[in-house]
Amino acid sequence: MKTCVQSEIGKLEGVIIHTPGSEVENMTPENAERALYSDILNLSIASTEYEQLKGVLGKVSKVFEVKSLLHDILKTESVKEELLKEICSIEKVEQSDDLFNLPDSVLSDILIEGVALQRNNLTNYLSSERFLLRPLHNLFFTRDSAMGMNEHMLIGKMANPVRERESVIMNAIFRYHHEIDTQILNPVKPNRGIISSPKSTIEGGDVQIGREDVFVIGTGMRTSTQGIDFIIENVKQLKQEKHHIIVQELPESPESFIHLDMVFTFLNTNECMVYAPVIYGMSRYKTIHLEIENGAVTRIQEHQNIPAALKKLGVDLKPIYCGGNGDPWVQEREQWHSGANFLAFEPGKVIGYKRNVHTVEELSKNGYEVVTAADVISGKVSPDDYAKCVITIAGSELARGGGGARCMTQPIRRAKVNW
């Protein structure tokens, strides 16, 4: 599959996910904050809910699993050696023959679920750590570790070291897996003479492809301005084509504003989901439009908000309000549980949490047929039966991890959109 993501809404043709496993349970209240969680999850409930997302995706797209892709590339000895060497170097762990000699299937498991620390010397005996290599608690949020930008896959540079291995694994998958054909952009390993600042951080929750020539990017606690500068430098390499980058400053707190897709997502060619208090109400957070042409930034100007900036570029989006267009208290509650975080798998066909009842009702008022995941998975109904629909998945436990349907998916191929 050749990667190509030219929008947020084109028909989904290929997507990478990770079904959460024991790495989610390898967490305690004491280390939850370090793992970037505000609470610990019940795996059995989260797994049941996740099967709804996975089941719907399987009906509308080709689905790849991170663990299976990782297992495949580890069958090549040179790739295994290179990947283990990089992981051990980054995480300051002595490379062990014990790891290299493990069966590929076991190694692919423990690189995700964690490697227990052996209490076989004084240093390890006295260590407060439980793991030699920590579990990847956040891996099921596959959106952040890599993101499609037209024909390229941009590898994330995570803001927190606890997630660094996720990007290393995804870089190896895109570089070596025989089923995926792509061009890689990596701020940790820049090419084409581009220099990446040590302060660069980029996570996929902040990067949205509005159109082939329009990128909408959030900057805040996870994506730095230096990270966006890295994207700008790569876009400048395209020389002739005019491109636009719309940058939205985000509040540093609360944690529910962690990424742009927690307050703004594309739904259709003419509709978007917004959390109004941030997108329309916080004037001290700037919306900046950069125009790039002939290898240079030709214009930088501020706009009132993202929809206003997009309208100037011919993308006229009607806002649909997270939590409904009414009570700010309801809006705040539903945004906290990823009420603005929708995945579009076709124009006007989206997936989101059932629990956000006021948001779903607002979609219904705007012509979206409300369909349950169970009905889609069973074949009782098909998304093809509707011009617009929202497929609702359970999210009582998953939402506590701090992300929604967009966070848990990494599209690698979408069809072109007829704008």
Dump pLDDT digits (tens) for 335-356.
999 999 999 999 999 999 999 9
Find the Cα–Cα–Cα–Cα dihedral 409, 388, 352, 394, rounded to 10°: -110
Tell me, yes or no, whether 156 lies in a domain: yes
Judge whether 304 lies within some domain: yes
Residue range 212-231: mean pLDDT, rounded: 97
Asked if the model's pLDDT at residue 304 lies above 80, the reply is yes
pTM of the predicted structure, to 2 decimals? 0.95
Condensed to tens digits (0 to 9), the pLDDT of residues 309-333 reads 999 999 999 999 999 988 999 999 9
pLDDT at 410 exceeding the cut of 80? yes
- Give the chain's domain count: 1
Residue range(s) defining the domain that contains residue 386 = 12-414
Is the residue at 5 inside a domain? no
How many CA atoms lie within 13 Å of 341's alpha carbon, on the beta-carbon side? 32
What CA–CA distance (Å, rounded) separates 171 from 161?
A: 16
- Judged by average pLDDT, the poorest of 14-28, 196-210, 222-236 is 14-28
281 pLDDT higher than 60: yes
Mean pLDDT of the chain: 93
**Is residue 1 in a domain?**
no
For the segment 121-140, the average pLDDT, to the nearest whole number, is: 90
**Do 360 and 370 form a contact (C-beta atoms < 8 A)?**
yes
pLDDT reported for residue 33: 53
26: pLDDT strictly greater than 90? no
pLDDT in tens, 69-87: 999 999 999 999 999 999 9
Whether 299 shows a pLDDT value over 60: the answer reads yes
Backbone φ and ψ for 407, nearest 5 degrees, come out as: -60, -35
* Predicted confidence (pLDDT) at residue 39 exceeds the cutoff of 70: no
pLDDT score of 128 = 84
Q: Is the confidence at residue 282, as pLDDT, over 80?
A: no
Q: 4 lies in a domain?
A: no
State the amino acid at position 372 in one-letter form. T
Structure confidence at residue 127 (pLDDT): 87
In a domain, 419, yes or no: no
Distances (CA, A) of 114 to 50, 107, 110, 165: 21, 10, 5, 11
**Domain for residue 311, yes or no?**
yes
Six-digit token string for 77: 């000895």
Q: Which domain CATH number covers 400?
A: 3.75.10.10
Per-residue pLDDT, 228: 98
Residue 103 within any structural domain of the chain: yes
pLDDT band at 195 (very low <50, low <70, confident <90, very high): confident
Counts of helices then strands in the chain (DSSP H, E) = 15, 20
Mean pLDDT calculated for residue range 266-283: 93
